[in-house]
A and B are shown apart, each in its own frame.
Chain A
Amino acid sequence: MSDLKALADAVINADIDTAVAETRKAIDAKVDVQEILDKGLIIPMDEVGLRFSKGIMFVPQMLRSAKTMQNCMELLMPFFSKGDISFKGKIIIGTVKGDLHDIGKNLVSMMLEGAGFTIEDLGVDVAPETFVTKIKETKADIVAMSALLSTTMPSMRNTIEALKQAGIRDSVKVIIGGAPVTENFAMEIGADAYAPDAGYGVVKAKEILNLS
């Protein structure tokens, strides 16, 4: 068995050259690509997220690990025939209407992708109707919303209302986050989960879909 631990360590340490070399080695050794993806890339990225949430790792390290993973993914992609990769689920993400802040949302999006979710990022200032349309179109499992202003937090409530109106509230889970957002607010507006940071975003996403 090729040593995926070396690849996993290289992802955690954000050592791009070693990670790319190890990925090549594993491909050459005919290791199952799904296994390379899961054990060599996704599991270490989960670890990076956890260490970030605990304050042991920091944002630039997380970014670099994600970049390391992306470079390795590029090598793996040609070996997956279409529809062959098993993804954890589909997530629609965006900053809510009236709010232009994107930094936190981008970090969460990147970590979710690193954890093996398929992400569709709708950007900033996303209207409730846009969320609804996209969720219907993509049959997303989760919608993740960000707000950085106390004045735009009500847009989260409005979006959840719009999901109910459209009759799709039961078919999609809702995660929210952002500096002024709290667990209490999440419960009050009927979200399924609140994520205090990008690391927890991944933990919560897996939790609400009952993934390990």
Chain B
Amino acid sequence: MIIVGEKINTSRKRIAEAVEKRDADAITEVARQQAEAGANYIDVNAGTFLEQETDCLCWLVETVQQSVDLPLCLDSPNPKALAEAIKCHRGEPMINSISLEPYRYQALLPVVTSRPCSVIALCMAETAMPTSIKDRVQAGTQIVARLTKAGISLGKIYVDPLIQPVSVDTRMGKEALGAISEIMNKFPGINTICGLSNVSFGLPCRHLLNRAFLTLGIGHGLSAAILDPTDNRLMATLRAAEVLLDRDEFCGRFIEAYQKGLLAD
């Protein structure tokens, strides 16, 4: 399971304050905690800074990479910010995200093909959010075809089925999970990724739903997730699910997490 640590996002007050003050220590602390907890990528998002987003994002890239030896997930709906951030990044980042929406696609394609990187591709059609499995697979197939044609290999594509709240429509969990299965079966070697919190919007005990959804996602073949790796209970659930699905050789990661005291019941 590829884990993208989600905590460095300026929609969180502490992070926004640290970015505002250019407090590198505060940011590196959050980066280190996530790295130690098992993150494979550190997500950086400065979207709330609007006009200053590009500067803030580049500062975050440099600051985080000075403290942890991990690639980053450059997270913005703004192609200009991503185009600059990718230049500041050492190694191969993950770009979060591209979609079929015409402006976004045209502006981002040159960025994601400008240097080696992985890319998150949203199952969003040109003009509408997906609702069914079919919508998602259709949009996913179309964007995968375009990205591979542009020279990006399947292994570097992370398809995000787009998770919508079950509170609004109780079919939304199943539809996203079904899409994960179909996409993983249709394109061997590809990755699927998602965030966990959208699914539980509008309901109580969201952490419980998020954990259950992660387990089901892994059961449907989900190969990466954007989450808080310092959430011990969530990570324990993830490690346990991997063991049970033969995705953890000799139960190595599970036991290691236990020995580090990271497995909360």
Contacts and interface: CB of A to CB of B under 8 A. Distances in A.
Interface string B85-104: 00000000000000001010
Contact of A58 (B47, B50, B77, B203): B203
B43 to A, nearest CB: 15
Interface of A: 58-60, 63, 98, 100-103, 106-107, 124-125, 149-154, 179-180
- By DSSP majority rule, is chain B's interface helix, strand, loop, or mixed? loop
A19 to B, nearest CB: 21
B77 A100 contact: no
A103 B168 contact: yes
How many chain B residues sit at the interface, stated as a range, is 20 to 34
Given A100-B124, A107-B168, A151 B78 contact: yes
B159 to A, nearest CB: 18
Contacts of B53: 150
B67 interface: no
A149 B164 contact: no
A107 B167 CA distance: 11
Interface of B: 11, 47-48, 50, 53, 76-78, 101, 103, 124, 127-129, 164-165, 167-168, 170, 201-204
Given A59-B202, A60-B203, A150-B76, 6 more contacts: A58-B204, A59-B167, A60-B168, A60-B170, A150-B48, A179-B11
Residue from A102, A107, A151, A179 whose CB has the most chain B CB atoms within 10 Å: A151
Contact of B167 (A60, A100, A154): A60
B201 A180 contact: no
